[in-house]
Amino acid sequence: MRVLHLDLDAFFASVEQRDKPSLRGRPVIVGGIGPRGVVSTASYEARTFGVRSAMSMSEARARCPHAAYLAGRFAVYREVSEFVMDQLRAISPLLEPLSLDEAFVDLGGSDLPDLSPGPVRKLADDLRATIRARTGVTASVGVASSKLMAKIASEQAKPDGMVVIEPGAELDVLHPLSVRALPGVGPATAARLARLGVKTVGDLARITEPDLVDLVGAAHGGMLHRLARARDERAVSTERESKSISVEDTFDRDVTDPTLLAALVTRLAEKLAERMNASGHSGRTITLKTRLHDFTTLSRSATLPAPTDDPRTVSRVASRLLSEIDVTGGVRLLGVGVSGLSDWVQDDLFGTEPEAAEDPGERSAGGFVGVRTDGASGEDAPADAVPSDGDRAGDVRVGELLHETQAWVPGMDVVHDEHGPGWVWGSGLGRVTVRFETAGTPPGPVRTFAADDPALSPARPHPQALSE
């Protein structure tokens, strides 16, 4: 019972409900608000209407038209996430974050005198209570003998619960589950298995390893064969040892043509995504490396809120990073890399294309791409390494890099000279509607202004909730 998995419940939506009292108990959907946006997080109220992560926003709107649709506030999510990760790190330095709201902890690195159910339950209870009291959001926790089982346990604990799977009970829990419970089994693999009558993990455990390898390939087949027997030796890999994959290309001559450079970055990103797919990895931090005509090597990286292996997302982020570097003198070498790797293949929640909204008075918040870039301009990063503590440096919202907009995006924090702090409820046709409330107030009134009202400005979130 060495591995603890923590997952915040409906994280982004919970933070929004915390800070927007009028939305508590109501369906809230956070995601890309452009025409091709996808749902990032749906509150539990929205889930009862069948809205799910990674669903297109248009389908979500059809299922749940009365929900609040918000673009998301990553600075706030990151603040809560950092608090939670600090709590976990205090339990054990052997911490593997998977995304802003999810992490594995190896309790072998903790002070617990023994890892028996009693002390482990007490530790998990205290952890959940602290997170709830200090952040206003709830966490679910699973504890088990492996990463696979700990993650399944926290899934079963949701929402706001804890499940401990004691040694020996693994197969009883695992075998009735759908094959989709195993990492790396997406809809395509599940469909292929279903054609053979394999629906549950127990069904899968009856297939021989050679048959599985035939079906899904060598690497994947071997892994599935072990996981179906709850054999999971994967270690919790800490931030410092996080692996990376990169691809690069050196050119015979300096490349100066921007169109060609853009095409080369896209090709490298696709190659990188192919490798990630082949090895069953997804990653959070994308790095672009350039060697200029004078052999200066520059790297820029950006970290997404959740891991991706989507070639379009990798390519879009890499292209934006290229646009931050002065390449007018020519480029000798280009590389694209990814780190913060996770062997849990996740749906890509952030892969929407940025687009202008139809309404000329409203500009798209676009791809709902997080978040930060590191490396000040002119600074040199080691050629192949991606800075492992890059998450701390120079936060810039990629959304801003992508669009350079200062639009009134639904959900964003604003302040009005006369009415005080509030959030954007909606905008369009040259108007913006604001609800004046914060985490510490009752549900507040709604008022509409001209979009260029000088009394209204974007605001840092109203300070609250990280203490209660």
Return binding residues: 7, 101
Interface segment toward Mg ion; rule CB under 5 A; list 97-105, 244-252, 279-287, 344-352: 97-105
Minimum separation from the CB atom of position 95 to Mg ion (A):
16
Give the x/- contact pattern for Mg ion in 329-368, rule: CB under 5 A. Answer: ----------------------------------------
First to last CA, the chain: 32
Q: Which is nearer to Mg ion, 80 or 216 (CB)?
A: 80
Q: Which is nearer to Mg ion, 306 or 434 (CB)?
A: 306
Minimum separation from the CB atom of position 248 to Mg ion (A):
34
The annotation places the binding site for Mg(2+) at 7, 101
By CB neighbour count within 10 A (0-12 exposed, 13-18 middle, 19+ buried), where does 384 fall? middle
Instruction: Find out whether 245 and 280 touch, Cβ atoms under 8 Å.
Output: no
> Between β-strands 244-255 and 331-339, what pairing exists: parallel, antiparallel or unpaired?
antiparallel
Task: Give the Cα separation of 336 and 316 in Å (integer).
Answer: 12
Task: Give the Cα separation of 64 and 46 in Å (integer).
Answer: 7
Number of residues that bind Mg ion (CB under 5 A): 4
Strands ordered across the beta sheet of 28-31 = 39-42, 28-31, 68-70
Minimum separation from the CB atom of position 392 to Mg ion (A):
22
Residue 111: count of CB within 10 angstroms of its CB: 10
By CB neighbour count within 10 A (0-12 exposed, 13-18 middle, 19+ buried), where does 459 fall? middle
Site for Mg ion in 182-241 (CB under 5 A): none
For residue 159, say if its preceding peptide bond is cis, omega within 30 degrees of 0.
yes
Residue 101 binds Mg ion (CB under 5 A): yes
Instruction: Find out whether 222 and 209 touch, Cβ atoms under 8 Å.
Output: yes
Site for Mg ion in 9-68 (CB under 5 A): 11
Measured at the CA of 342, the angle between CA 323 and CA 274, to 5 degrees, comes to 60
Minimum separation from the CB atom of position 11 to Mg ion (A):
5
Interface segment toward Mg ion; rule CB under 5 A; list 96-104, 275-283, 322-330, 358-366: 96-104
Q: Which is nearer to Mg ion, 81 or 189 (CB)?
A: 81
Q: Is 102 a catalytic residue?
A: yes
Minimum separation from the CB atom of position 102 to Mg ion (A):
6
Interface segment toward Mg ion; rule CB under 5 A; list 4-12, 143-151, 319-327, 402-410: 4-12
Interface segment toward Mg ion; rule CB under 5 A; list 6-14, 27-35, 83-91, 350-358: 6-14
Residue with tokens 């995006």: 409
Residue 71: half-sphere exposure toward Cβ, Cα within 13 Å: 30
Minimum separation from the CB atom of position 17 to Mg ion (A):
14
Residue 106 binds Mg ion (CB under 5 A): no
Catalytic residue among 45, 96, 102, 170: 102
Q: Which is nearer to Mg ion, 8 or 80 (CB)?
A: 8
- Cβ-proximal residues to 60 (8 Å cutoff; 6+ apart), any chain: 29, 31, 39, 42, 46, 51, 67, 69
Residue 7 binds Mg ion (CB under 5 A): yes
Residues in contact with Mg ion by CB under 5 A are 7-8, 11, 101
Q: Give the residue numbers annotated as catalytic, written as ranges.
A: 102
